[in-house]
Amino acid sequence: SFQQQNPQGLKRLPGPRGYPLIGNMMEVGRNPHLSLTQMSRKYGDVMQIRIGTKPVLVLSGLDTIRQALVKQGEDFMGRPDLYSFRNVADGESLAFSTDSGEVWKARRKLAQNALKVFSVSPSPTTSSTCLLEEHISREAVQLIRKLLQLMTEQGSFDPYRYMVISVVNVICAMCFGKRYSHNNQELLRIVNMTEEFLEVTASGNPADFIPVLQYLPSRSLKKFKEFNYRFLSYLQKMVKEHYETFEKDNIRDITDSLIEEAKKVEANADIQLPEGKIVNLVNDIFGAGFDSVTTALSWSLMYLVSYPDIQKRIQEELDQNIGRERRPRLSDRSILPYTEAFILEMFRYSSFLPFTIPHCTTRDTILNGYYIPKDLCVFINQWQVNHDEKLWKDPSTFNPERFLNAEGTEVNKTDGEKVLVFGLGKRRCIGESIARWEIFLFLTTLLQQLEFNICDGKKVDMTPHYGLTMKHTRCEHFQVKQRFPMKSSQ
Ligand code: HEM
């Protein structure tokens, strides 16, 4: 039978049989999050598939994923050697390279520290709580102006095109101390090329598993390489400018603080962690920092226009708890439980990061009684957890209230933690708190002043397109109305 015993006397991994050469590619299909969720019902939380000729371990179920990524974190913290990953940041990416040893650990820590200093630390110059609040608040106000201007000029717009610039400006301010206009061509070209990146780096991209595909002409691979090249060139230009104007007593932004660290390492002749490897951390911070947050905001707007009652309820909560005299602040998060519940439900329902970045085992191990060999590629099905009937009542209904207590006054913390979008354990996202704050403050600042809807007679298409992050089709039929006259101080 298929379930033979392996040499160590443990059960062999269950999974579908598959065909020669292509393995289970047909069954996995174009929406792996759905097909692998379906398969997990039959084979369980720990199963093995084959893509091409390569075996892949697929993990489902919150308990199983916690067991692997948290309790057995060291065993599962590797990254597989995939063709597409070798193209990211010249193979030196913190997130995508195969390194999970001491150098990766040291780099991750440096990136985390630099991020913290230029986001949630107190702002030295203004009355804002922190630099992050200052950047987001400024960008959100600009965005409101821009959307109102578009309404007068065109009567409707595609919000994604404008939100992406606002979000890029937040991460740009932290990384490089500068912002861009909504018409900057250099930046627009880069931020509008992410689709190819997300398609190619998604779990289950065929070219990663069937080597011959890497040599065949492919439009998306070509665009993917072009994106990586442009992105890297742009960032290298910024880093060079920073080196040229660097002053050790005036650390302006994340790039400066990484240069400072790099110089320290250089002084100690630490060959383990070369200078270049520190500075190029800015690639990962910048790259991971804008696309995911923009996608989250974009899905949020789709739900707000699809469920106008939910939008109204958020606005009522804002009116009651903040009023109209001042803008929302980060510290308001705890007094806006319905808004918080909406954001959690947006994460859960969209599960727009359906799988984490693929993992790989760092040694032979055992999970749920199954023998798992070293260097096995692992997919973590976050979508499955967020739609698991065992965890959620009516998982296919969009309902923020599932996270609230009966009085609607508090978010249930345990339920909130069941939503899996940032991964878990050693590879957990390092931008999680920044991302959550950012989504909160953009949404509340926008919704305090604007009501969103879709032009009469038009519909939004909410079908997700599979990728590392899943997006919906862009929609040009958004409209906004100002909810009350804006004060000049705003
Ligand atoms: C990794 C989600 C925003 C920086 C990840 C991973 C996920 C994720 C699922 C992979 C975890 C794994 O492989 O197990 C998200 C979501 C975001 C977001 C849903 C927004 C809603 C950000 C932001 C930053 C960031 C704003 C930086 C400013 C990173 C980095 C990694 C990472 C550097 C790689 C960590 C490593 O491999 O050690 N993120 N992220 N992310 N994220 Fe995020």
| Share of residues in the chain with pLDDT > 70 (%) | 96
Sign of the four-CA dihedral 12, 15, 17, 22: negative
Q: Is 61 left (phi over 0), alpha (psi -120 to 50) or beta?
A: left
Contact 258, 286 (CB under 8 A): no
* pLDDT for position 8: 66
- Residue 43 to residue 38: CA distance in whole angstroms: 9
Rounded mean pLDDT, 252-274: 81
Distance CA 295, CA 298 (A): 5
| Digit-coded pLDDT (tens) for 410-439 | 999 999 999 999 999 999 999 999 999 999
* Mean pLDDT over the full length of the chain: 90
57 strand-pairing partners = 48, 378
Count the alpha carbons within 13 Å of 184 in the hemisphere toward its beta carbon. Answer: 15
pLDDT at 300: 98
CA nearest 283: which of 185, 193, 171, 177? 171
Cβ contact 59:71 at 8 Å? no
How is residue 375 written in tokens?
Answer: 């260097």
Query: Which amino acid appears at position 345 of this protein?
Result: E
Question: From ligand 1's centre to the CA of 451, what distance in Å?
Answer: 30
* DSSP-derived pairing of the beta strands 359-360 and 54-59: unpaired
Chain-centre distance for alpha carbon 375: 25
Mean pLDDT of 357-374: 96
Q: Provide the pairing of β-strand 377-380 with 450-454.
A: unpaired
Give the tens place of pLDDT for each residue, 461-477: 999 999 999 999 999 99
Q: How far apart are CA 349 and CA 311, in angstroms?
A: 16
382 Cα nearest atom in ligand 1: 9
- For the packed helices 337-350 and 432-449, what is the interaxial angle rounded to 10 degrees? 120
pLDDT for the residue 22? 87
Largest Cα span, the chain: 75
* Residue-level pLDDT at 2: 44
| DSSP calls for 404-471 | B-TTSS-B-HHHHHH--SS--GGG--TTHHHHHHHHHHHHHHHHHHEEEEE-TT-----PPBPSSS-B
- Per DSSP bridges, beta strands 377-380 and 54-59 are parallel
Of 154-163, 175-184, 473-482, where does mean pLDDT reach its minimum?
175-184
pTM of the entire predicted model? 0.94
What's the sign of the alpha-carbon dihedral 324, 330, 333, 338? positive
> Are 132 and 253 contacting, i.e. CB atoms less than 8 angstroms apart?
no
Q: So what's the ipTM on this one? A: 0.99
Q: 287 pLDDT band (50/70/90 cuts)?
A: confident
Contact between residue 163 and residue 297 where contact means Cβ atoms under 8 Å apart: yes
* Res. 229: pLDDT tops 50: yes
Euclidean distance between CA atoms 284 and 94, whole angstroms: 7
Q: Which of 261-270, 358-367, 400-409 has the lowest mean pLDDT?
A: 261-270
Q: Which of 154-168, 271-285, 372-386, 406-420 bottoms out in mean pLDDT, i.e. has the lowest? A: 271-285
Best residue among 362, 422, 440, 470 to mutate for probing ligand 1, ranked by most atoms within 8 Å of CB: 422
Secondary structure of 71-99 in HEC code, one letter for each residue: HCHHHHCECCCCHHHHCHHHHCCCCCCCC
pLDDT tens digit string along 109-158?
Answer: 999 999 988 888 777 676 778 889 999 999 999 999 999 999 999 999 99
Contact 283/235 with Cβ under 8 angstroms?
A: yes
pLDDT at 295 over 80: yes
pLDDT at 357: 95
Average pLDDT, integer, range 260-265:
84
Q: Which atom of ligand 1 is nearest to the CA of 69?
A: 14
Q: Ligand 1: which of 118, 429, 439, 469 to mutate, judged by most atoms within 8 Å of the beta carbon?
A: 429
| Residue among 163, 292, 351, 384 whose CB has most ligand 1 atoms within 8 A, to mutate | 292
Q: Which residue has the higher pLDDT, 306 or 211?
A: 306
Name every protein residue with a CB atom under 6 angstroms from any ligand 1 atom. Answer: 94-95, 108, 111, 115, 284-285, 288-289, 292-293, 296, 353, 356-357, 421-423, 427-431, 434-435
Tens digit of pLDDT for each residue in 17-53? 988 888 998 899 999 999 999 999 999 999 999 998 8
pLDDT at 192 over 90: no
Q: Listing from the earlier edge strand, what are the strands of the sheet with 377-380?
A: 46-51, 54-59, 377-380, 359-360
* Ligand 1 center to 292 CA (angstroms): 8
